[in-house]
Each structure stands twice: as C-alpha cells, then as structure tokens.
C-alpha cells in the first residue's frame, strides 16, 4: 500500500509539473490542482479527509466540497469551475457510490472534460460498481453515467481497505 501511495504521489507531481501554476487575482481562491469526487457519507471522515490533508501538506491544491465551499456558494457553478480548473480527478469509489446522482454526475463531468482520472477503490471492487436504472435518470443521464463509470473502472487505480488502513 505504501508503495502504491508513493507511486501515486510521483504521478501527481509529474502531472502538476507539466503545468505552470495559474496566478489568482486578489480575493479569488486559487484554482485547484486535484478535484476529489466521493460519496461523503461513506468516505469523508476516513480516506477523503486523510487524502485532502495529505495533498495540502505536499503543496497540491485539492478541491473538496466541504473544505472549499461556503454558505451562499452556487453548488453547480463552484463544482463546474473546480472540474474545469483541475488537472486530475481523484474518484473515491465506495460501496454506495453509484447510488448518488451527484457523484455520478461529477464523474461524468470529469470524464467529459478529459481530465486524468485516478480511481481509489475504497472497500469495493470495480466489478461491483454498477449504475442501476431505477427510472430516476433520463436515458441521456444513464448513458453518460454508465460510460463515465466504465472509463474509470478501466483505469488502473488504488485499493483502500478502511478496516486495515
């Protein structure tokens, strides 16, 4: 696991070194380097919190909804901007990830924006991630979500077991 984390760190650094860090205007939050997509109820208090803190320590600017947004922010606008500005999307998959419209929509946006996707499979195997049609999505949304999920599942990722750390 430690070797996987070290490998992921070097990948992040290589990607980030290829881009000049944009300068922000006064009063505007700096763009993020990494967008963290996750199901908060499953992962925010364990792996995602640790990941966010670690990225900050190594001078990588992550976007995490609970850390980068404040009351009054327009949810869709803020997330769209963060996805547009980021270089990498870290997608933390959990057993109930595919039950969230917002998670699937963000994943589709990341994929459609052609951002590098780095999946983390937290307590779930890629083969168990399935978008089910409960007639709550339009055909277009369902197709977007399934396509983005398949793209991410076919990308080499990291496995994380929350019971063993």
Is it the case that residue 88 has pLDDT exceeding 90?
yes
Q: Give the residue numbers marked as catalytic.
A: 106
What residue has token string 């199901």? 39
Reported as a single tens digit per residue, the pLDDT across 93-107 is 999 999 999 999 999
Domain ranges of the chain: 30-160
Q: Which of 55, 68, 66 lies closest to 120 in space, CA to CA?
A: 55
User: Whole-prediction pTM value?
Assistant: 0.80
Reported as a single tens digit per residue, the pLDDT across 18-65 is 443 433 333 445 689 999 999 988 887 788 999 999 999 999 999 998
Phi, psi of 60 (to 5 degrees): -110, 130
> How many CB atoms are closer than 10 A to CB 136?
9
30-160: in CATH 3.40.50.10140: yes
- pLDDT for 18: 46
- pLDDT for 30: 66
């Amino acid at each position: 696991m430690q070797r996987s984390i070290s490998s992921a760190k070097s990948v992040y650094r290589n990607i980030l070194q290829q881009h000049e860090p944009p300068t922000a205007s006064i009063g505007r939050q700096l763009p993020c380097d990494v967008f963290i997509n996750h199901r908060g109820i499953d992962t925010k208090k364990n792996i995602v919190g640790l990941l966010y803190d670690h990225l900050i320590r190594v001078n990588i600017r992550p976007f995490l909804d609970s850390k980068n947004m404040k009351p009054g922010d327009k949810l869709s606008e803020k997330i769209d901007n963060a996805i547009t500005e980021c270089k990498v999307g870290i997608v933390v998959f959990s057993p109930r990830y595919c039950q969230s419209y917002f998670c699937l929509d963000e994943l589709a946006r990341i994929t459609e924006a052609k951002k590098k996707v780095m999946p983390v499979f937290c307590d779930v195997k890629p083969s168990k991630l399935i978008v089910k049609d409960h007639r709550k999505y339009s055909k277009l949304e369902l197709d977007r979500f399934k396509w983005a999920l398949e793209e991410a599942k076919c990308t080499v990722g990291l496995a994380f077991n929350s019971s063993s750390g």
